[in-house]
Amino acid sequence: MSSSPVHTPVPAQPYGRPPLRTVQVLGGAGAGSSAHVRSLATGLAARGVRVTVCAPVAAEGEYDFTGAGAHFTPDAVSALRAACVGADLVHAHGVRAGMRAALALRGTARRVPLVVSWHGIGPEPDGPLGRLSRLLERRVARAAAVVLGASSDQVDLARRRGARDARLAAVAAPAAAPAPGAPEPPEAADKTRAELGAVGRPLVIAVGSLVARRGYSVLLDAARSWRDLDPLPLLVIAGEGPLRPELARRIEAEGLPVRLLGRRPDADRLLAAADVAVLPSRWEGRSLLAQEALRAGVALVATEVGGVPELVGDAAVLVPYGDAGALAGAVAGLLGDPGRRAELGAAGRAQAATWPSEDDTVAQVLSVYDELMERSRP
């Protein structure tokens, strides 16, 4: 017997105003920004905001923006322009998305405010690529009515690039089930470790795309020194990207105790089974892995870069970027000290409790939208 669908009532708009129409623009299918847009779309739609998400089709398949209450449109130029024509406000996530949104808004008859979130904008290397990136950042920073930085250093960078209004807006990592802080059942963790081949040996995990800024070449240097440990730790890396062939060749040629798992939808389950999580990046804003590790009570070793110190406080072991010896020593020290791992696990959960929730994040973003709408009213 079929039942009628249940429709959630749309909350009334203040002062009889029509619902706010927003377009959320994603420049790629990155896990951090895509998860944030999914969370934002859910919260905004629940508050009566009409949300259109313009993103790659692959992102819709994985994050189901439609299921969050948004209208989805592919990220083709014509589709983005059409969406912007009917919008009250456009919110782009990332510099490339910001540039595409700014260009699309040039063709609109009305002046539509542009908000740009900088989720992972860090220092670029010198040379042509670095100069191009800085030029793009300047143009986007100046085109935006407001730039929202996920960490203080991103806010500072946006101001240096010419942003008229740059603010800190921490991005909450979506809560996974079970609830944050709830330990993984021992039998589930044991099963996961068996699947990975880590029975009777320590398990170290890294999660993130296989790109240069993640620092995986340094991590493999560190793993080389772990071959002298007994029992031998297993390092697993969950992620995919252009550096996979190069990393795979090194692992085989040097006989490293490392497995490349590819992109995994169950990275949180793998993390919960690990003894230590490691974040070897050259730069991070508000790292999704760091947030998930601390919430799960998993000891974290991370590079002291970008927004990481601000995010983790005293609840992780921080090492300089590029120092394979320091990275190796910090991980080995934790593997040999269960008590210290337990201390970090408890500190991580306490630190995570201080972070803004998804509702807090939505409320802050909506307050920015309301402010911009008030400015634009005659």
Q: What is the CATH number of the domain that holds 198?
A: 3.40.50.2000
Same domain, 168 and 205: no
Same domain, 31 and 73: yes
Number of domains in the chain: 2
C-beta neighbour count of 110 within 10 angstroms: 11
Q: Does a structural domain hold residue 10?
A: no
- What are the φ/ψ torsions at residue 246 (nearest 5 degrees)? -65, -45
Beta strands in the chain (DSSP E): 21-26, 50-55, 71-74, 89-93, 114-118, 146-149, 166-168, 203-207, 234-238, 258-262, 276-279, 299-303, 317-319
Same domain, 150 and 213: no
Q: Does a structural domain hold residue 330?
A: yes
137 in Cβ contact with 157 (< 8 Å): yes
Same domain, 117 and 190: no
Task: List 93's β-bridge partners, or say none.
Answer: 26, 117
Q: Cα–Cα distance between 189 and 297 in angstroms, integer?
A: 13
Same domain, 141 and 289: no
User: What DSSP character marks residue 27?
Assistant: S
Same domain, 155 and 247: no
Helix axes of 244-254 and 216-225: crossing angle, nearest 10 degrees: 10
Same domain, 238 and 297: yes
Q: Does a structural domain hold residue 378?
A: no
Same domain, 158 and 202: no
Question: Which long-range contacts (C-beta less than 8 Å, at least 24 apart) are formed by 242-247?
Answer: 242/210, 242/211, 243/210, 243/211, 243/212, 243/216, 244/210, 247/210, 247/216, 247/217, 247/220
Q: Cα–Cα distance between 367 and 62 in angstroms, integer?
A: 28
Same domain, 98 and 132: yes
Q: Cα–Cα distance between 362 and 358 in angstroms, integer?
A: 6
Q: Does a structural domain hold residue 242?
A: yes
pLDDT, tens digit, 9 for 90 and up, residues 298-328: 999 999 998 899 999 999 999 999 999 999 9
pLDDT at 9: 46
User: What DSSP character marks residue 56?
Assistant: -
Distances, alpha carbon 163 to alpha carbons 114, 117, 125, 263, in Å = 12, 12, 21, 35
Q: Does a structural domain hold residue 148?
A: yes
Whether the pLDDT of residue 15 is over 50: the answer is: no
Q: Cα–Cα distance between 134 and 115 in angstroms, integer?
A: 19
pLDDT, tens digit, 9 for 90 and up, residues 47-106: 999 999 999 998 999 899 999 999 999 988 999 999 999 899 999 999 999 999 999 998
Closest CA to 37 of 367, 378, 374, 365: 365
Binned at pLDDT 50, 70 and 90, residue 5 comes out as very low
Q: Does a structural domain hold residue 181?
A: no
Q: Does a structural domain hold residue 102?
A: yes
Same domain, 104 and 225: no
Q: Cα–Cα distance between 125 and 136 in angstroms, integer?
A: 14
Same domain, 107 and 231: no
Distances, alpha carbon 271 to alpha carbons 13, 203, 265, 300, in Å = 42, 9, 12, 11
pLDDT at 377: 73
Whether the pLDDT of residue 352 is over 90: the answer is: yes
Please give the residue that has the higher pLDDT: either 176 or 139. 139
Please give the residue that has the higher pLDDT: either 273 or 9. 273
Q: Does a structural domain hold residue 157?
A: yes
Q: Rounded mean pLDDT of 218-228? A: 95
* Structural domain boundaries enclosing 311: 186-352
Same domain, 156 and 196: no
